[in-house]
Every structure is written in structure tokens, then in C-alpha cells.
Amino acid sequence: MVSWPTRAALGGAAILATAALASAGTSSHSGMHHQMQAGQSHGQGQAMSSHMSHDGAAKDAREMVQFPPDMQTHFLGNMRDHLQTLNEIVDALARDDYAAASKVATERLSLDSPSAAGCKPQSMHQASRPPENRSQKPMTMEDMMETYMPEAMRGIGLSMHTAASEFAKVAMTQDRAGAMTALSHVTQNCVSCHSSYRLR
């Protein structure tokens, strides 16, 4: 298993790479814009608006990942539960209820929670088989996650669940500052994945 700083570095590298692509796109496009301006001074307004809308699209440097519809529904449902879980954790911490914060993190977000199953490398032997060779049995959600989620994305997911397990432990020490720091390691991974990938 790769430790989480390495995974975070991977995520960072993906962001840098996509940012470089986006800026390359922008500079070549602005070259085109100058050409248009020279040729058609009256059409400038129109050229400007298409330039702006193109830039708007180019700014979304996240990698588009395609999931089958069922898997996307399942994945986004998990996501909404992740946010609800964070909300319950913050609420419990505000009441100094460390046991409740730890419990909800363990049950809904940790490596041992059902939501972590699709990010765990444990069933990797199945991933090496192409999907058509498993057609006798319908694919489980875990199979689908292995098949369709990019390796680096799964890595960030695994880091997030690992950080949640760590939070659950630290929260039990009732150290507020330590718990908040551990929680920020969870949210860092939410942010890291969201800045790198999109489904739609």
C-alpha cells in the first residue's frame, strides 16, 4: 500500500499537469483571437463573447471520468453521505462529543466502512481480468469501481478513508486540536479529488 503523502503528491501532479494543459490551450487560443481582431474590427463583440465562453470551458481542467449510470448513481449517493457524515462529525465535535464523532467516522467513512470497499486494493486479482471474462456473474459495485475508476483517483479515495480511520482514533483522545487536524486530512482528500476529477 502506498502511504498517503505519496498519494497526495500524485493528486498534486495530476492537477499541475492538467493546469499546464489548460494554460497551453489558452495561450494558443489568444493568438487566434489577435488574428481575428486584425481582420474584422466590426465583429469584435462577437469574437469576444465566443472567446470568453471558450475560456470558461477551458478553465475546467478536471479529468472527465466515465462511469456506467448505475455506478454513477451509487457513487454520488456515497458522496452525499460523505458530506452528511462530515456535518455530523463537526456537529459532534462542537458538542465535545468525541465518542460520537469517532463512531460516525468509523461507521460511515473509515477504511472499515462499506463506502471504502470500492477503493481498497484487496480484490486486485479481479481487476486484472477484463470485464468480459466475468460475464457469468453480474459485476458488483466493487468490481465496477476497480474497472472504471482511474488508479490515481482510487488512491485519493483510499487516502481519504485512511485519514478517516486515523481521525476516528485521534478523536478518542479527546484532543480538540489533534482531532481538527486529523479531520482536515480527511477534507484535504475530498478537495484533492474534486479538483482533479469530474463525472459530468
Contact pick of 7, 82, 108, 185 for ligand HEC (by CB under 6 A)? 82
From 15-23, 38-46, 74-82, 167-175, span contacting ligand HEC (CB under 6 A): 74-82
Only segment of 17-25, 29-37, 132-140, 187-195 that touches ligand HEC (CB under 6 A): 187-195
- For the chain, the DSSP string reads ---HHHHHHHHHHHHHHHHHHHHHHHHHHHHHHHHHHHH-STTHHHHHHHHHHHHHHHT--PEE----HHHHHHHHHHHHHHHHHHHHHHHHHHTT-HHHHHHHHHHHTSTTSGGGGGG-GGGHHHHTS-GGGGTTSPPPHHHHHHHHS-HHHHHHHHHHHHHHHHHHHHHTTT-HHHHHHHHHHHHHHHHHHHHHEE--
CA distance 162 to 62: 24
The nearer residue to ligand HEC, 47 or 104, going by C-beta atoms, is 104
Residue 2 binds to ligand HEC (criterion: CB under 6 A): no
Stretch that binds ligand HEC, among 15-23, 45-53, 82-90, 95-103 (CB under 6 A): 82-90
**Measured between alpha carbons, how far is 32 from 150 in angstroms, rounded to an integer?**
34
Contact call for residue 69 and ligand HEC (CB under 6 A): no
Minimum CB separation of residue 54 from ligand HEC in Å reads 20
Q: Which residue has the cell 486494493?
A: 121
Which positions from 110 through 169 interact with ligand HEC, judged by CB under 6 A? 153, 156-157, 160
Min. distance of Cβ 134 from ligand HEC in angstroms? 23
User: Counting contacts by CB under 6 A, is residue 7 touching ligand HEC?
Assistant: no
Shortest distance, position 61 Cβ to ligand HEC, whole Å: 13
* Residue 30 identity: S
Per-residue binder mask for ligand HEC (CB under 6 A), 29-68, x = binder: ----------------------------------------
Q: List contacts with ligand HEC (CB under 6 A).
A: 76, 79-80, 82-83, 86, 153, 156-157, 160, 186, 189-190, 193-194, 197-200
